[in-house]
A and B are shown apart, each in its own frame.
Chain A
């Protein structure tokens, strides 16, 4: 009897710091965002010297990427986006998701939140100041918001402090 009672299955304590899908998805979003940001940065620095219109006449990003709002404190927002996603790629690496460092976990959330706030400002400028939407910019905005959602969910999954108990 004692043998059978000691064999009663005791629920395992979930010691994972994050859901398995979170590092994969966040890294994928950050990498795609970095790619689009690189394109927009190149576009920002080259389009102003190309004094020509695309022959198709289709909506393009020029109005947005060459506007006054395309810079923040004198720095091209495309470049800021590039730096943001580069940082996101680093903090989204699976090895860093497995780190219990509270600085890293909180810093990741703060970075994602700053990104969303900036996207909010840019979308506001597109809709109400420029009256123009840049599709590539919108892709970046969607990626930043999605990244925020994934990071918030991933960070809420576990409190590293609990795992020490």
Chain B
């Protein structure tokens, strides 16, 4: 065989191999492309089905927020939890205590220690925190205009039952309370519709005390934020909104009136912790509240809080 023949044969063999591999590669690429297209189509079907309304309405619908007499009964029950119940609960189920500050000037308004709450109606953690806060504050004064509400239905812990401070007033001879709800629970664009606006003084308080070193860096700027005359701070809820899942407002009020219920022991125990700190701010007034077992159960926790 001549060299030319060998070269020609080698050339033909190479061309055949190249052709076979090109064909095989085209086949594999077709499979690869098909797989990618199938995946893209599968995700496309999901999105189109969602946009077409599939899967909507299948979730649990929250019961309507009580109105009229039913709402009045809820507010009345919450603002007048029997002292015997709170005494029986005392510390309850592992309450969350406010973080105490040191060396901070007592925040006052109208000559009385000021309790400032900053939250929002959409926020489920604010929804949880309002229950013990209202119980505690109701031992020192009287609320007017509290309304019932729910946290946002499209956020975590959706539709958590709660009370709103928006539009309410609080009267007490011992304390001043400012409750600020910065947003509603209704969507507006990428956020929620604005509601109350912080005053410049409130903004200063939040800027200073809702930040390290007064609260964890993780909770800085978050809501709910509570300051007890800047002597005690709470950033976040005292308990998980999960505990309120599926409950109606009336059921929660029934639970907080029952010292045997787990939820009652959680909410009332946290209310008692707040009450005990408030008693330090008011100099032990009113006496019947501040000498009750519900408060003395926290005697050691707030012993260093001294307000003159």
Contact = CB atoms under 8 A, between A and B. Distances in A.
Interface of A: 2, 5-6, 8, 10-11, 13-14, 46, 50-59, 62-63, 66-67, 116, 120, 123-124, 127-129, 131-132, 145, 148-149, 152-153, 155-159, 162, 165
B177 to A, nearest CB: 20
A48 to B, nearest CB: 8
Given A13-B14, A52-B224, 12 more contacts: A11-B14, A50-B236, A52-B125, A67-B156, A120-B42, A128-B50, A145-B40, A156-B28, A156-B29, A157-B28, A157-B29, A159-B28
Contacts of A67: 156
Interface in B21-50: 21, 24-25, 28-29, 31-32, 35-36, 39-40, 42-43, 46-47, 49-50
A58 to B, nearest CB: 5
Contacts of A52: 125, 219, 222-224, 235-237
How many chain B residues sit at the interface, stated as a range, is 35 or more
A58 B21 contact: no
> Looking at A51, A124, A149, which has the most chain B CB atoms within 10 Å of its CB?
A51
B228 interface: no
A14 B43 contact: no
23 contacts: A5-B4, A13-B21, A50-B222, A51-B237, A51-B238, A52-B236, A52-B237, A53-B120, A54-B222, A57-B192, A59-B190, A62-B156, A63-B154, A66-B156, A124-B46, A127-B47, A127-B55, A128-B54, A128-B58, A152-B32, A157-B25, A162-B21, A162-B24
Contacts of A57: 120, 122-123, 182-183, 191-192
Nearest to B241: A51
Contacts of A54: 221-222
